[in-house]
Amino acid sequence: MSAVWSEEAASTVKNGTLIAATAGATAGATMAVLRNAPVGQYTLSMSINCAIFGATFFSIRETFLAYQRRKNPSFGLKDSQTRDADDLFSSAMAGGTTGSILSSLARGPKSILPGFVLFSLITTAGQAAYSFANHRRQLLILRSQSPQEDGGVSLPSHTLPPHETIGDGDETSAHGRRPPPASKEKNLWDLFQMPKWSPVRKLTDEEYKSILEARLRQLDEEVKMLDKELGLEENSGIGNGGKKGECAALVER
């Protein structure tokens, strides 16, 4: 195995088998609860079956990939790199081979071809979806690291050349205070980009600024209304106090 596989490939087979076994155990326990069947029996059976499928699939897949990586120097790739076409072909062949073997063991030789076609299509679709999602994630990470205009307004960090003025050296003055260094950590939202048809989207700087200004105007109006109400209450209090004083003077007379 060491002559054909690398340590990374062996780790991939091991992790894939463990993930498949865990998924099978979870599915088996769920089915047992829904069918009111013995949980332990369903969990163990599904876990073993999925572990066998996962070990066979990832072993065959890594064997195909190890053979295809030998051609990397002719394509200018590193030993650990693989092309999307190689991943797709390896997953399709591994899924078809695994499906045909397990189908023949479970249902006989007549199910070899249907099992090969079915599992080959399933694993090919899964690999294509995984490759698309992986490329999409890498593209979003690159966009988040390099400043680009994605429909929003990007404000320049420096509009004037660097210069020194009075108070720059004095950290106690307001002009001499340096702004804190910008954090390099990106928000989790920046790593995702919603599609155009989605009702949820990221606000641009101008939209966010207009929302804040509208909110501030609303707060100013509310404060003015409160001031007017307080002024009316004070005036009414003063008027009532003056009337009470006049009534008291008349009573004394």
Q: What is the pLDDT of residues 135-177, one digit of tens each?
A: 888 888 888 876 554 444 444 444 444 544 444 455 454 444 5
Within 13 Å, how many C-alpha atoms sit on residue 47's CB side?
A: 13
**Residue 116 phi, psi (nearest 5):** -65, -45
Pairwise pLDDT comparison (7 vs 3), residue with the higher score: 7
Give the confidence band of 134 by pLDDT, cuts at 50, 70, 90: confident
Contacts with 234 (C-beta within 8 Å, 6 or more apart), sequence order: none
Measure the CA–CA gap between 29 and 43, rounded to whole angstroms. Answer: 5
Other Cβ atoms closer than 10 A to 174? 7
Helix (H, G, I), strand (E, B) or coil at 187: coil
- Region 87-113: mean pLDDT is 89
Helix axes 112-145, 84-107, angle to 10 degrees: 150
pTM summary value: 0.51
Contact 12, 59 (CB under 8 A): no
DSSP-assigned letters across all residues of 202-231: PPPHHHHHHHHHHHHHHHHHHHHHHHHHHH
Q: Comparing C-alpha atoms, which of 83, 71, 188 is closest to residue 131?
A: 83
Q: Please provide the size of the chain in residues.
A: 253
Measure the CA–CA gap between 41 and 249, rounded to whole angstroms. Answer: 99
Question: Domain limits of the chain?
Answer: 1-74, 83-147+187-199, 203-252
Express as a percent the part of the chain with pLDDT over 70. 68
